[in-house]
Structure 1
Amino acid sequence: MLNTISPVEAATGIALQQYLTVAAILFTLGAFGIFLNRKNVIIILMSVELMLLAVNVNLVAFSAYLNDLTGQIFALMVLTVAAAEAAIGLAIIVIYHRNRGSIAVDDINSMKG
């Protein structure tokens, strides 16, 4: 069996498995942030952003490994959507905090409408 080295690994010395390991760790940290801290909306939003970052690392790593720009372009699209989601989410949280004085998830769950 031939041992092939991707151009990225030849240039940087970092294998695809190492990128995937970092992305898996980031995704797991984001999932733990969501499941372990369900009281603060800002931490939940940051955890979702961390999970999206892990997805982007995977997209860019596979794109570079396969010499295809599609994954990198898709990662830029995911970044723009994630930035818009974070901006809208933070704006909603700020408005809710001004009106209610709290950003606890339990208080948000009691909203009517």
Structure 2
Amino acid sequence: MSPNLFFLLCSVLFSIGLVGLVSRRNLFVIYMSIELMLSSVNLLLATFSKVLGNPDGSVIALLMIAVIASEAALFLAMIVQIFRTRRTIDSDDFDALAQGKE
């Protein structure tokens, strides 16, 4: 397969994630958009690694997967805590918590 198709797929996935990140207010959808963007970057790193014949991109992608897994656990814990205190996962309420409002 041509690497151009992988580059196109990465661009489309990243764009979908960016649109979801900017246009949604639900924290869970924002989280999934961030995960989609990070996955597209991992695919791009693996593609560059294969095209250039250098395994450095694959190693970085594996390290990013570990970071993404820990980030997922923290973000989901934050969502659960916000839901327990506010009974909603609307990002506007999260902003109010950050500013110290009740």
Per the shorter chain, which TM-score range?
over 0.9
What is the CA distance between 1:45 and its match in structure 2?
A: 0.7
- Can you give the 5+ residue segments of structure 1 that lack an aligned partner in the other structure? 1-13
Partner Cα distance (1:106, 1:62) in 2:
38
Partner Cα distance (1:110, 1:36) in 2:
19
Q: CA RMSD in A?
A: 1.1
Q: State the identity %.
A: 35
Instruction: Calculate the TM-score normalised by the size of structure 1.
Output: 0.84
Matches within 5 A, 1:56-95: 56-95=42-81
Partner Cα distance (2:20, 2:27) in 1:
11
- Can you give the 5+ residue segments of structure 2 that lack an aligned partner in the other structure? none
Matches within 5 A, 1:1-113: 14-37=1-24, 39-111=25-97, 112=100
Aligned residue pair count: 99
Instruction: Calculate the TM-score normalised by the size of structure 2.
Output: 0.92
Partner SS, residue 103 of structure 1: coil
Q: List structure 1 segments (4+ residues) > 2 angstroms apart after TM superposition.
A: none
Query: Higher helix fraction: Structure 1 or Structure 2?
Result: 2
Partner SS, residue 4 of structure 2: helix
